A and B are shown apart, each in its own frame.
Chain A
Amino acid sequence: MTITVDGIYKGFNGFPALRGVNLTAARGEFVALLGPSGSGKTTLLRILAGLEFADGGRLRFDGQDVAAQGAGERNVGFVFQHYALFKHMTVAENVSFGLRVKPRDKRPVKAAIDLQVNELLRLVQLDRLGNRYPSQLSGGQRQRVALARALAIQPGVLLLDEPFGALDAKVRKELRRWLRRLHDDMQLTSIFVTHDQEEALELADRIAVMKDGRIEQIGTPAEVYHQPATAFVYEFMGNANRLRCRIDRGRAIVGSLILPAPEHPELRDAAGVAFVRPHDLIIGDARAEGLEARVRQIFVAGPAIRVELALLANGDMLEAEVPHGSPAGELIVPDKLVTLTMTKVRAFPDAVAA
């Protein structure tokens, strides 16, 4: 099912939760709504599901206006953040609920329902747990029951609210890959909400980054990560260092360093901020060309050495990541004076960066 969101507006007691959101999800696409809490991403998802109704704008499923339809009529599968399983029903009863409540003329016969439930339970790898109650399952198992229950009604679109939020890191990662495979196998159109950029980058075909009730940028994970449209998107997609700079004719000037900023060919000596990722900072010998900085703290545990440095020029703290065993390793000694260079920055003029 194709989903078209057109200028959706929603307020809660005068506070605008969504202010003019536009979004399309093509058939078979897996779209992530990514943003900090309060950015409106869950509200948007709930409006898509019909659990909340927009104050303005249009919402179409396959070109058909569904804004006036209730949740039950939209044929959407919704997976809740805390699963919302029916506590007093067994796993099988939970999964079959959507089939059992169908109007009599559309309801499958009991044998057909049982068959379908078994098939779904096998799909979510819970075939032998049909008689258990939700309280007897682990978090990951509950999540899969919630998914099977949502899929039972053969929804045109699957909506997931922070689907992995309540799971521990290892289960989360496994379930994430499994969900992606399931989405592809079943040719679903799925939209999920998350505040975890890593999850969005790994799982989604496209990511919509949200802030203050608006979509800041929509793009593939690579686009959003490598060509962030705004400073907010850059900072949200990973660790970021901020450096004051001047932007001039496609170049960003940071202290004595001149770096390419091809996305701003039109600007003439404008004040701005250059962002650089910790792994793009290169630590060099004190005599080399670059920004002078002093090593403050070193964290060696982890996949790379993390170094905190203070710029001599203004005392700003920066974070760098150096692979274990790199030649720069011997420069990383507390209080040692070093220079910093970088291969890649992303510059935003102050008007955008603010």
Chain B
Amino acid sequence: MAGGTTQPAAAAQVRRATTETALVRWILIVTGVLFIALVLVLPLISVFIEALRGGFATFFQSVTSKDTWQAVRLTLLVAGIAVPLNVMFGLAAAWAIAKFDFKGKSLLITLIDLPFSVSPVISGLIYVLLYGANGWFGPFLKEFDIKIIFNVTGLVLATIFVTFPFVARELIPLMQEQGRDEEEAAISLGASGLRTFWHVTLPNVAWGLLYGVLLCNARAMGEFGAVSVVSGHIRGLTNTMPLHVEILYNEYDFIGAFAVASLLAGLAIVTLVAKSLLEWRYGDRLAGGRKH
């Protein structure tokens, strides 16, 4: 009995080389928890609290108003177009960069990063300068009666530009780390290029791709700056959820603003939960693959 109780105590006293004193550990942990609480958790909770300040009835009234629903639909439409396109572009770019050697590769990598380094407002302005009524292509577009700025097309273009790096940036390091061995093995076993891509390359980056899609989607739905410039804020027509939040806020409809904001936050939470569920469900099928 005595031996049984002393042994774990003795084991607990064994210090690992990488550990710190209790004081340092506590200071670091408390700092970390406080930081996360203040910067992440509290704002998220406050969105929901503010949204429900007037009670559930007011909340439902806000989120079911016609303008709000049109904003939600538009946001989903824009994300629904921009995200699949960027998945395609991102996959293609990452595949080319990680698995092939060619001239101008570093230039391509720099270009992919461009949207990250440019302010979204400028991204929006570029499109106005190019496709607006007084822009470079303005007269041409007018000739054929194509409307891009102050239209859904412009919103999609601006969103694609801003969210372009998410998928590619997530996949490039992953694919580079995995090297070309498995692809070479597949090719030497007689698989075609396309088959190799679908059966070898893609499954190996599935988790990275999923993560990239989620980030891309979150940003596509939440983008404000670039979209704000090209949208024109036409209610019920070119008003996405983030823009709608701003309009409501500026009109002193705080509950309405927070209600729509809580919908946006809810969408983010749903995507994160979906990712965790997928990981949990298919975790062992992809035991060899990388998880995030």
Q: Which of A79-87, A247-255, A332-340 forms part of the interface with chain B? A: A79-87
B195–A101 CB distance below 8 A: yes
Q: When A88-B285, A88-B288 are in contact, do A49 and B188 touch as well, CB less than 8 Å?
A: yes
Q: How many residues in B have their beta carbons less than 8 Å from beta carbons of A?
A: 22
Name B206's closest neighbour in chain A (CB-CB): A88
B285–A72 CB distance below 8 A: no
- The complex places the Cα of A78 from the Cα of B187 at a distance, in Å, of 10
Interface 0/1 of B178-205, CB less than 8 Å to A: 0001101111111110010001100110
Q: When A88-B203, A98-B190, A102-B190 are in contact, do A80 and B286 touch as well, CB less than 8 Å?
A: no
Q: How far is the CB of B62 from chain A (nearest CB, A)?
A: 46
Identify the interface centre among A71, A73, A77, A152: most chain B CB within 10 Å of its CB: A71
- Decide if B57 is an interface residue (CB 8 Å cutoff): no
Name B183's closest neighbour in chain A (CB-CB): A84
Interface 0/1 of B115-150, CB less than 8 Å to A: 000000000000000000000000000000000000
- Decide if B27 is an interface residue (CB 8 Å cutoff): no
Q: How far is the CB of B207 from chain A (nearest CB, A)?
A: 10
- Decide if B289 is an interface residue (CB 8 Å cutoff): yes
- Decide if A277 is an interface residue (CB 8 Å cutoff): no
- Decide if B287 is an interface residue (CB 8 Å cutoff): yes
A72–B188 CB distance below 8 A: yes
Q: How far is the CB of A212 from chain B (nearest CB, A)?
A: 24
Which residues of chain A are near B189, meaning CB under 8 Å? 72, 97-98, 101, 149-150, 152-153
- The complex places the Cα of A84 from the Cα of B178 at a distance, in Å, of 10
Q: How far is the CB of B174 from chain A (nearest CB, A)?
A: 12
Q: When A72-B189, A101-B191 are in contact, do A135 and B184 touch as well, CB less than 8 Å?
A: no
Identify the interface centre among B190, B200, B285, B289: most chain A CB within 10 Å of its CB: B190
Q: How far is the CB of B281 from chain A (nearest CB, A)?
A: 15
Partner of B184, one of A80, A85, A97: A80
Partner of A88, one of B181, B185, B195, B289: B289
- Decide if A238 is an interface residue (CB 8 Å cutoff): no
B181–A82 CB distance below 8 A: yes
- Decide if A133 is an interface residue (CB 8 Å cutoff): yes
Interface 0/1 of A87-98, CB less than 8 Å to B: 110000000011
- Decide if A166 is an interface residue (CB 8 Å cutoff): no
A71–B288 CB distance below 8 A: no
- Decide if A50 is an interface residue (CB 8 Å cutoff): yes
- The complex places the Cα of A300 from the Cα of B184 at a distance, in Å, of 48
Q: How far is the CB of B268 from chain A (nearest CB, A)?
A: 29
Size class of A's contact patch? 20 to 34
Identify the interface centre among B182, B189, B204: most chain A CB within 10 Å of its CB: B189
In the complex, how many residue pairs between chain A and chain B have their CB atoms under 8 Å apart?
A: 75
Q: How far is the CB of A130 from chain B (nearest CB, A)?
A: 15
Which residues of chain B are near A84, meaning CB under 8 Å? 181-182, 184-185
Which residues of chain B are near A88, meaning CB under 8 Å? 203-204, 206, 285-286, 288-289
B188–A51 CB distance below 8 A: yes
- Decide if A290 is an interface residue (CB 8 Å cutoff): no
A86–B190 CB distance below 8 A: no
Which residues of chain B are near A150, meaning CB under 8 Å? 189
A86–B200 CB distance below 8 A: yes
Interface 0/1 of B251-290, CB less than 8 Å to A: 0000000000000000000000000000000000111110
A97–B191 CB distance below 8 A: yes
- The complex places the Cα of A174 from the Cα of B189 at a distance, in Å, of 27
- Decide if A210 is an interface residue (CB 8 Å cutoff): no
Q: How far is the CB of A290 from chain B (nearest CB, A)?
A: 54
Which residues of chain B are near A49, meaning CB under 8 Å? 188
B190–A51 CB distance below 8 A: no
B287–A51 CB distance below 8 A: no
A133–B190 CB distance below 8 A: no
Which residues of chain B are near A73, meaning CB under 8 Å? 190
- Decide if A76 is an interface residue (CB 8 Å cutoff): yes
- The complex places the Cα of A305 from the Cα of B189 at a distance, in Å, of 49
- The complex places the Cα of A326 from the Cα of B21 at a distance, in Å, of 60
- Decide if A134 is an interface residue (CB 8 Å cutoff): yes
B187–A87 CB distance below 8 A: no
A97–B288 CB distance below 8 A: no
Which residues of chain B are near A87, meaning CB under 8 Å? 182, 204, 288-289
Which residues of chain A are near B288, meaning CB under 8 Å? 87-88, 133-135
Q: When A78-B185, A87-B204 are in contact, do A135 and B191 touch as well, CB less than 8 Å?
A: no
Name A136's closest neighbour in chain B (CB-CB): B287
B181–A133 CB distance below 8 A: no
Which residues of chain B are near A97, meaning CB under 8 Å? 186, 189, 191, 199
- The complex places the Cα of A149 from the Cα of B189 at a distance, in Å, of 8
B289–A50 CB distance below 8 A: no
- Decide if A165 is an interface residue (CB 8 Å cutoff): no
Q: How far is the CB of A139 from chain B (nearest CB, A)?
A: 15
7 A-B pairs with C-beta separation under 8 A: A72-B188, A73-B190, A82-B181, A86-B200, A88-B286, A133-B288, A135-B287
3 nearest CB pairs, A to B: A87-B288, A84-B181, A98-B189
Apart from A51-B187, A72-B187, A72-B190, list 14 A-B contacts with CB within 8 A.
A72-B189, A74-B188, A77-B188, A78-B185, A86-B185, A88-B203, A88-B204, A88-B286, A98-B189, A98-B190, A101-B189, A101-B192, A101-B199, A149-B189
